[in-house]
């Protein structure tokens, strides 16, 4: 009860602040997502089907501090993609989920006409850029792992500038917090350094096509994985009301003393209006090769396939419904034959 009272008091203060200052804007969304989850392990396990609900509430607070400076906060539950699940995860009562409230976004910065900077917990769009998936999660690669496990956010610094025909964006995100420990004589007995992912992308338009080359590089200690990932996202102009997109990327880790691997991803995407709503469809093919992984010194190859198919329909300007199917296949010869189908309907109310 004390916790609930504290949250309500904080929201009342924020609401009063927003109503007395035109520089602060509050928005958010409420979501309910029933899902039927079907898992099949093929010859290496059984089948498992589960029906459950996913619940999410988010509050966005955007502040115009003045002179180009801004602050952004997002309050929500820190869990997979920000959702609370009714299938036994984080349940305090069989039919009453009680999620915690966290700062899932907290950053500030400066936005000028031709450049900007920012710091804190800030967003990167893993839905639009699958190179984030294969860089941060090479053992998952598809099914939007960056959005699910990172909530499309990182901690660190970022900046952008209008250069030439496009916009250059750079980021440095912390993925490991370094420390060291000394013994009584002052000798360092434990030593770990900070690890960062450096990211660069350049978004531009050429003859109506949107082209975005991207690069991510991990700076780490010796004997720790430090992958490099590069690729490009391309979106076409609309043809007969449909837009088409292609993403292609490569990732690899060759750091001495680590598990060496290389991988690739291809995405083909179609979006467009059909009837009263719109269709979003994409297909991912990805492959990771674990170099000299097998006991006989041969490589192990893992192949992924992934389908995302959704239909979005607005009931009102602020309320929408989205039936969606997500189908994953994950296979390793003589070791793994896994498939998963998630059939779900999103009910979303925005405010």
317 domain-assigned: yes
What is the CATH number for 187?
A: 2.40.160.10
> DSSP strand E in 23-66: where?
24-40, 47-66
3 domain-assigned: no
- What pLDDT sits at residue 153? 93
- What pLDDT sits at residue 198? 97
Q: Which two tokens stand for residue 241?
A: 């009301």
- What pLDDT sits at residue 194? 73
pLDDT digits (tens, 9 = 90+) for 93-121: 444 556 788 899 999 999 999 999 999 99
Residue written as tokens 């995302």?
308
- What pLDDT sits at residue 49? 95
20 domain-assigned: no
How many beta carbons lie within 10 A of that of residue 172, not counting itself? 16
b/e code 131-161 from CB counts within 10 Å (16+ = b): bbbbbbbbebbbbbbbbbebbbbbbbbbbbe
- Min mean pLDDT across 65-69, 188-192, 206-210, 281-285 is at 188-192
pLDDT digits (tens, 9 = 90+) for 148-202: 999 999 999 999 999 999 999 999 998 865 555 555 555 655 555 678 999 999 9
Tell me which residue of 264, 299, 271, 293 sits closest to 142, measured CA to CA.
Answer: 264
For residues 54 and 345, the answer to whether their CB atoms sit within 8 Å is: no
Tell me which residue of 326, 257, 235, 284 sits closest to 134, measured CA to CA.
Answer: 284
DSSP state of 44: G
131 domain-assigned: yes
Count of domains for the chain: 1
- Reply yes or no on whether the pLDDT at 90 is more than 90: no
Length of the chain: 351
Mean pLDDT of 293-322: 96
18 domain-assigned: no
- What pLDDT sits at residue 100? 81
Question: What's the CA gap between 26 and 250, in Å, rounded?
Answer: 39
- What pLDDT sits at residue 224? 77
Q: Which two tokens stand for residue 126?
A: 């893993």
52 domain-assigned: yes
Residue written as tokens 């960062």?
196
166 domain-assigned: yes
Q: Give me the torsion for CA of 201, 207, 209, 211, rounded to 10°.
A: -20
Q: Where are the alpha helices (DSSP H) in 37-176?
A: 131-136, 145-149
Backbone angles phi, psi at 241, to 5 degrees: 85, 0
How many beta carbons lie within 10 A of that of residue 303, not counting itself? 15
- What pLDDT sits at residue 9? 42
Parent domain of 131: 37-350
How many beta carbons lie within 10 A of that of residue 225, not counting itself? 16
Mean pLDDT of 296-300: 92
Question: What's the CA gap between 150 and 144, in Å, rounded?
Answer: 10
- At residue 8 the predicted structure's pLDDT band, cuts being 50, 70 and 90, is very low
Helix (H) or strand (E) holding 7: helix 2-20
Q: Which two tokens stand for residue 251?
A: 């990732």
- Distances in Å between the Cα of 254 and the Cα atoms of 220, 222, 224, 229 are 12, 11, 10, 12
- Min mean pLDDT across 2-6, 27-31, 307-311, 332-336 is at 2-6
Mean pLDDT of 208-215: 97
Q: Which residue has the higher pLDDT, 341 or 257?
A: 341
Question: What's the CA gap between 137 and 269, in Å, rounded?
Answer: 21
Q: Which two tokens stand for residue 152?
A: 């499309």
Question: For residue 50, what are the β-bridge partners?
Answer: 37
Question: What's the CA gap between 264 and 287, in Å, rounded?
Answer: 5
Question: What's the CA gap between 302 and 63, in Å, rounded?
Answer: 46
pLDDT, the chain, mean: 88
- What pLDDT sits at residue 13? 46
22 domain-assigned: no
- What pLDDT sits at residue 221? 73
Q: Give me the torsion for CA of 39, 40, 45, 48, rounded to 10°.
A: 40
End-to-end Cα distance, the chain: 26
- Reply yes or no on whether the pLDDT at 225 is more than 90: no
């Amino acid at each position: 009860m004390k916790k609930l009272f504290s949250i309500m008091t904080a929201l009342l203060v924020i609401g009063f602040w927003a109503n007395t200052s035109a520089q602060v804007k509050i928005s958010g969304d409420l979501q309910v997502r029933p899902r039927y989850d079907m898992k099949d392990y093929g010859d290496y396990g059984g089948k498992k089907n589960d029906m459950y609900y996913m619940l999410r509430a988010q509050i966005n607070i955007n502040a115009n501090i003045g002179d180009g400076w801004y602050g952004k906060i997002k309050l929500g539950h820190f869990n997979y993609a920000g959702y609370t699940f009714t299938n036994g995860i984080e349940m305090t009562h069989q039919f009453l989920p009680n999620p915690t409230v966290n700062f899932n976004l907290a950053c500030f910065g400066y936005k000028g006409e031709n450049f900007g900077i920012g710091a804190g917990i800030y967003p990167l769009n893993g839905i639009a850029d699958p190179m984030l998936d294969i860089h941060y999660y090479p053992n998952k690669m598809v099914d939007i792992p960056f959005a699910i496990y990172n909530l499309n956010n990182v901690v660190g610094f970022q900046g952008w500038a209008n250069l030439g025909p496009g916009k250059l964006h750079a980021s440095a995100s912390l993925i490991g917090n370094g420390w060291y420990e000394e013994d009584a004589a002052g000798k360092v007995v434990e030593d770990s350094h900070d690890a960062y992912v450096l990211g660069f992308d350049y978004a531009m338009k050429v003859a109506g096509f949107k082209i975005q080359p991207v690069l991510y590089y991990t700076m780490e200690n010796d004997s720790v994985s430090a992958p490099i990932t590069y690729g490009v996202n391309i979106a076409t102009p609309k043809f007969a009301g449909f837009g088409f997109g292609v993403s292609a990327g490569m990732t690899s880790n060759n750091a001495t003393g680590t598990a060496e691997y290389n991988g690739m991803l291809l995405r083909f995407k179609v979006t467009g209006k059909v009837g009263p709503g719109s269709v979003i469809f994409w297909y991912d093919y990805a492959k990771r090769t674990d170099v000299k992984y097998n006991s006989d010194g041969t490589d192990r190859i893992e192949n992924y396939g992934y389908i995302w198919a959704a239909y979005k329909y607005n009931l009102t300007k602020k309320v929408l419904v989205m039936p969606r199917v997500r189908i994953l296949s994950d296979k390793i010869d003589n070791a793994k034959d896994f498939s998963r189908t998630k059939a779900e309907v999103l009910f979303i109310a925005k405010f």
